Amino acid sequence: MEHVISGVAKFQKEVFPSKEARFRKLANGQNPEVLFITCADSRIDPNLVTQTEPGELFICRNAGNVVPPHSNQTGGTTASIEFAVAALGVSHIVICGHTDCGAMKGAIAPEKLDSLPHVREWLGHCRSATEVVRDRHGELCADHLEEVTRENVLQQLQHLRTHPAVASGLANGRITLHGWMYNIASGEVLYHDEQSGTFRVMDEAYLAAFDSDSAGAAAEAG
The pLDDT score that the predictor gives to residue 220 is 43
Domain of residue 175, CATH code: 3.40.1050.10
Instruction: Say yes or no to pLDDT of 148 above 80.
Output: yes
In a domain, 3, yes or no: no
182 close to 97: Cβ distance less than 8 angstroms: yes
Q: What is the pLDDT of residues 1-28, one digit of tens each?
A: 999 999 999 999 999 999 999 999 999 9
179 close to 168: Cβ distance less than 8 angstroms: no
Which residues form the domain of 93?
30-221
Kindly state the average pLDDT of the residues 109-136: 97
The CA distances from residue 133 to 67, 78, 102, 121, 128, in Å, are 19, 26, 17, 20, 9
* Euclidean distance between CA atoms 147 and 98, whole angstroms: 11
In a domain, 166, yes or no: yes
C-alpha torsion 67→70→75→76, nearest 10: 50
Kindly state the average pLDDT of the residues 46-63: 97
In a domain, 1, yes or no: no
Amino acid at 22: R
Q: How many domains is the chain built from? A: 1
The pLDDT score that the predictor gives to residue 221 is 40
In a domain, 214, yes or no: yes
In a domain, 188, yes or no: yes
In a domain, 90, yes or no: yes
In a domain, 25, yes or no: no
Candidates 53, 58, 46; CA nearest to 25 is 53
Q: What is the pLDDT of residues 128-137, one digit of tens each?
A: 999 999 999 9
Mean pLDDT, the chain, rounded, equals 93
The percentage of residues in the chain with a pLDDT greater than 90, rounded to a whole number, is 88
The CA distances from residue 46 to 16, 43, 61, 104, in Å, are 20, 10, 10, 19
Phi, psi (deg, nearest 5) at residue 128: -60, -35
Instruction: Say yes or no to pLDDT of 115 above 60.
Output: yes
The CA distances from residue 26 to 8, 14, 91, 163, in Å, are 19, 18, 19, 28
In a domain, 7, yes or no: no
The 10 Å Cβ neighbour count of residue 209 is 10
Confidence of residue 219 (pLDDT cuts 50, 70, 90): very low
